[in-house]
Every structure is written in structure tokens, then in C-alpha cells.
Amino acid sequence: MTIVLRYVDNLGFVKEIFIGVVHVKDTSSLTLKNALKEVLTSNKLSFSQIRGQDYDGASNMREKFNGLKVLILQENDTIFYVHCFAHQLQLVVVAVAKKHDNVSDFFEQISLVVNVVCALCKRKDLLQEQARQRVQKGLCSGELETGRGLNQETTLVRAGDTRWGSHFNTLTSLMKLFADILVVLEFVKVDGGSLANANKR
């Protein structure tokens, strides 16, 4: 769980500070509340000092009876709750994009490619092997540079409906692996053809 505090300093300026990432055993609202309480206590803060809380729209956060929002309101009923605006914006962007036929069709085709390539372990392995060979060849020929953080292994990422950023990650991974994906699709075409012929027999 990532924790960020937003507060007003003595001069009246609004500040935002990243407290840290806390490991939690599960994402139930009670576990999150207890973890949050520990973090506040270790920073000499308490729920009585909180004036607002802000999360995404997941059910464990906003559920009416046992959500994190409600559990914290039981500690201090003056805490104002705000649904994360960044998360709302993500949902709006995805929804608006899907209303545009060309954009919707484009991402449908991308999703189809990802599903076909990632459907079987055999295909994923082929994709990784093709990418490894391409990088190795590029390094040997001098086309690719070596260095820290360069030539990292990339996988084909599926886009999620609630995060527009995941669509960007899908497109980025597709562009990086484009030549390798073509090899896998050719394999699927040939393999599918041989399966069809075998079934005819």
C-alpha cells in the first residue's frame, strides 16, 4: 500500500509528502486500516488529525459497510472522503475513447493480437526467444548499445479497462516486440493450418 500525506504547513502552503510503501498481507479493508494506523503512529500522527481521505473506487476502499473509508470514519467521523480524481479521469478517458469507433476498433485489434500471441505458453516462449535472439544479434552487430537499464526483457502487456496508462504500455511493448510478434503470428498461421489439415484427415 502506498501512503501519501497532504497537509498545510505553518505558513499556509499545501504540501504533499510520500510516506512510503507498506507491505500488507492482503488488501482487505481491515488489513489496510491497521497498516495505515501503524504508519500514522510511527510518524506520531493519529486518525483524529486526519481531515480527508482519498482512494480509488475499489470495493474494499469505498464499500458502504466494511470499506476502508467507513472503518476510518468510525475512528473520526469528521474525515471528508474524496474519490481519487486521477482514477476517475482514467475511467473517463477509457470510456470516451471506446465511444469513438476508430479508437475502439484499433484497441480491439490490438487486444486480438495480444490474445493470440499470449494464448499459449508455446507462443510466449517463442516470442521471448525471438526477442532474445534479436537483441543478441543487435548487440553483436553494434546496432544496439549496452549499458545499465538498456535491452531489458520485454513482454507483451494486456490493456486494462480502468487504466488508460495500461493501453500505452500495451502499445509500447507491441512496438518494441513488433518483429518478434510477426514471427509468432506466422507460426500461429502455419501451426493452425497444419492442425486444420490434421483434422480433415
Mind listing the pLDDT tens digit for each residue in 24-42?
A: 888 888 888 899 889 989 9
Mean pLDDT of 79-92: 72
- E-assigned strand segments in the chain: 2-8, 14-21, 52-55, 80-83
- Of the residues 83, 113, 129, which one is the last residue of a structural domain? 83
The domain in which residue 148 lies consists of: 100-200
- Mark whether 196 and 104 lie in a shared domain: yes
Q: What is the pLDDT of residue 57?
A: 64
108: nearest Cα among 53, 37, 61, 116: 116
Domain assignment of residue 179, yes or no: yes
Which is it for the CA torsion 138, 143, 149, 151, positive or negative?
Answer: negative
pTM above 0.85, yes or no: no
- Mark whether 115 and 194 lie in a shared domain: yes
- Mark whether 195 and 104 lie in a shared domain: yes
* Helices and strands, counts by H and E, the chain: 8, 4
Domain assignment of residue 94, yes or no: no
- Mark whether 7 and 71 lie in a shared domain: yes
Mean pLDDT of 61-83: 77
Distance between CA atoms of 30 and 137, rounded to whole angstroms? Answer: 52
- Of the residues 52, 83, 114, which one is the last residue of a structural domain? 83
- Mark whether 79 and 107 lie in a shared domain: no
| 3-state DSSP assignment of residue 37 | helix
Q: What is the pLDDT of residue 29?
A: 85
Question: Which grid coordinates are listed for 128?
Answer: 521471448
Counted domains in the chain: 2
Amino acid at the residue 9: D
